[in-house]
Each structure stands twice: as structure tokens, then as C-alpha cells.
Structure 1
């Protein structure tokens, strides 16, 4: 159960982070302290619950900046400019919550992942979904 929960957390952590950083830290602490099957089941259930929440704009922007770190050393300037233009548009939005990641930035993340592969990010539901 431990290994499965660790793999689940690895694939879901950016999605959870984009819902709210406080949610991310809550799961992180539970993972660190987990010892029993019941503890890991609690983490699994919490992740499932958090995935149902809306993205919070500020948390989403912070998560996108964090994910950008996987691309920044290899990305061409034009890709960097486009990414940060999309991020600025999101930051300036009047919307506080999103049921889904805005389509244009989600599509661009998929493009970045294809152009600049990252094995770790390729397992993340944040970009895949």
C-alpha cells in the first residue's frame, strides 16, 4: 500500500498543489507520517477528495511557475515568452476558481512536455488530464 500511495502522490501532487498550497502541505505531512495501511488509505481518500475541488487561481499560477522549472533550462525564448504571457493573463483574470485548468495554458503545457520531455512530469495528472 505504501508504494502505491507514493506513486499516486507523485502523479497527483501538482494537481493538488494547484487546488491550494495548504492542501499540498496537508498531504505531504500525512505522507511523511504514514506508517499503517489505514494511514495510506487516508492519504488516498484525501487525494481523491482534493482532486474534486476547483483550482484556485493563485495556487494554480504558483504551480505553473513551479512546473516551468522543468522546462526553463532547455526552453527556447519564444516558448518562455508565450508561457509567461499565458501565465500573466491567468494572473490578471477576475476568476478566483476554475473547474478545469484554462484550456490554452493546458494545451501549451502538453506542447512543452512533448518538445522538452520530462519523465517525471509525464506521469503527472496535472498535464495529462
Structure 2
């Protein structure tokens, strides 16, 4: 059977959150979705990989990597001031005093990036159904 629209939407919402926790699990899930074929075994693997990711504490590097991917949506439309702010926040980023996430949320709302408005990393709703 094929990947359903709901599965694609769920992964779209979770992908940057998963990436922020574990690049390895993120890459494994991407592989599951390749070819657009789905079955119960893939569904089980998908749920387990999400859980594994959420069991992993994000690091400074994994968070910055996910944030850089999110920034990619804004790099061509952000003002020069927003670019400077992004660079400053990235350079001084610390997971314990995360000012970059609120900034990216602000840009998402300002520029109404529909894809990112549904992102669990930016606007958390749930971790997983498993």
C-alpha cells in the first residue's frame, strides 16, 4: 500500500523535531518513506524510530542543525536585520538559553510559512502516538 496523506502530514510535522533529537533516526525515517510504499512493518519501524529519537536528549549541534534547516525557509526573504539577528543567535546559541527557537517561531508567523506553522519543533503539540 502507499503512504497516506495523513502519514505524510504527520511526518512533515515531526521531521524537524525528530532531527533536533537525532539525525540518525531522522535519516532512517526518510529511508522508510522513500518509494512511497508503506506496510505494517514500516509503520512499526516508523513509530519505534520516532520514540528512539524522543528518548535522545538534543545536543547543541543537533538543535542547531534542525534550526539551520528551518532557517532555510527564510534565508531569501528575511530582512538584513533578521539575517544579522539569526547569525548572532546562532553564534551564541545554548540549549539552556535558547533564544533561536522563539526567533524562528516569530519569523514563521510573520512570513506565514504554512509548512512550518505545522512543525512540532516550532509549535509543539504532541511527541508521538506510540
What TM-score results when the alignment is normalised by the length of structure 1?
A: 0.80
Matched, 1:16 2:11: no
Which consecutive aligned stretches of 4+ in structure 1 deviate over 4 angstroms post-superposition? none
What TM-score results when the alignment is normalised by the length of structure 2?
A: 0.79
CA contact (8 A) 2:21 2:53 kept: yes
Q: Could you say what the CA RMSD is over the residues aligned between the two structures, in angstroms?
A: 2.2
- Extract unaligned runs of 5+ from structure 2: 125-130
* Structure 1 residues 1-129: aligned runs within 5 Å: 2-3=3-4, 4-32=6-34, 35-90=38-93, 93=94, 98=95, 102-129=97-124
Q: Which has the higher helix share?
A: 1
Describe the shift of the 1:28–1:88 C-alpha distance in structure 2 as closer, same or farther (beyond 3 A). Answer: same
- The Cα of 1:35 is off from its aligned counterpart by 2.7
- For these two proteins, the number of residue pairs brought into alignment is 121
Distance 1:103 1:66 in 2: 16
